[in-house]
Amino acid sequence: MKTSNFFGKNFFIILIIAIGIYSIFLIYSDFNTVINNSLTFNFIFIPLILLTIFSSWMFLFIRWTLLLKNSSIKIPFKDNLLIYLAGFTFSISPAKSGEWIKSIFLKNKFNIDKSTSIPIIFVERFYDVLALIILILFGLSFLGFEFLPIVILCVGLLFSILFLIYSKSKFNYFIRFASKFKFLQKFITPLENSHEIIRKSITPKTFLISTSLTIFYRLIEALSVYFVFLGFGIDLISYFELTYMYSASIILGSISMIPGGLGVTEGSLASLISSQGIAFSSALVLVIIIRFFTLWFGVIVGFIALKLSGALNVNNH
């Protein structure tokens, strides 16, 4: 399969949009500011930042493996890791919906039915949002209670999802309702018979372990953001304050349903950073560098894993 066919035009449109957004940010921040900030960065932090980010992914991989095991899916470690990392290639899709591509890889390489794997990816997104909400709740006093409506909205959404999961009739009603939307129709069939698989993925033990792993992932990822600040010699904001701000910007980007939260995540994080005494122009530069490490580094690694996994050589849609 040709790479261009695999990704489709939407993927490359998103890349162009991202370049446009970052270009506007850099122009607004002033070119001299960009150059001066780049010169002051201590590049010895780069290996540490990349290692920290990669380490954080391992918590998500453990969660993924646990969820697969709960559904009696066992695949070789190397293939499993490559398939999981390959999903990062599509992190720039709305709410990471592009990671559903992992179900296609599992189907093509191991003949695992998509109706078994897609619910697991759905549950991953559930735990992602849950961990962010928990972190934001801890930092609500720092962030300001203007974030409370967003938290309430997300909590309501999570409880609605749990209600759907534990009520078979309501779950079936939701499936019928969702089938009316064209962009969701391709997910309907795999989800129709997925009720029990989803329930297995949120049993008390699995719920506790998966939530904890996701929180650890966010905490370690936030540590890489803190290292970016240290690389510039900035220590005005503590690690935990950065964790709350970063979590809030990520959830705002997710709510926007814009691919990768582009623009929304960066803009909200820059605003929160500048509220702590850092010039907004400098905050924009910081945010672009942070997003390169936390978002685009994953896309690059995902693409490499995609090539190594052989997914591009499979002649399936």
Q: How confident is the model at residue 95 (pLDDT cuts 50, 70, 90)?
A: low
Check pLDDT > 70 for residue 51: yes
Check pLDDT > 50 for residue 316: no
Check pLDDT > 60 for residue 312: no
- CA 247, 204, 82 angle in degrees (round to 5)? 60
Check pLDDT > 50 for residue 123: yes
What's the pLDDT at 41?
81
Specify the residue for token string 């779950």.
171
Cα-to-chain-centroid distance, residue 217: 11
Average pLDDT over residues 22-32: 62
What's the pLDDT at 317?
46
Specify the residue for token string 């998509």.
114
Check pLDDT > 70 for residue 191: no
Specify the residue for token string 């709510």.
255
Cα-to-chain-centroid distance, residue 89: 11
Check pLDDT > 90 for residue 56: yes
DSSP state of 296: I
Contact 140, 147 (CB under 8 A): yes
Nearest to 251, CA basis, from 234, 263, 264: 264
The two tokens of residue 27 are: 């122009």
Q: Which domain holds residue 134?
A: 3-313
Contact 164, 170 (CB under 8 A): yes
d(CA 243, CA 45): 18
CA distances from 224 to 8, 171, 219, 289, 313 (A): 32, 39, 9, 11, 34
d(CA 198, CA 164): 10
pLDDT digits (tens, 9 = 90+) for 253-302: 888 777 777 888 888 898 899 988 888 878 888 888 899 899 889 989 99
Helix (H, G, I), strand (E, B) or coil at 182: helix
Contact 291, 281 (CB under 8 A): no
Q: Which residue type does 242 have?
A: L
Q: How confident is the model at residue 19 (pLDDT cuts 50, 70, 90)?
A: low
The count of structural domains within the chain is: 1
**Got the DSSP string for 109-121?**
HH---HHHHHHHH
280-291 and 264-274 are packed helices; what angle lies between their axes, rounded to 10 degrees? 130
Instruction: Out of 123-137, 206-220, 232-246, give the one with best mean pLDDT.
Output: 206-220
- CA 277, 223, 135 angle in degrees (round to 5)? 80
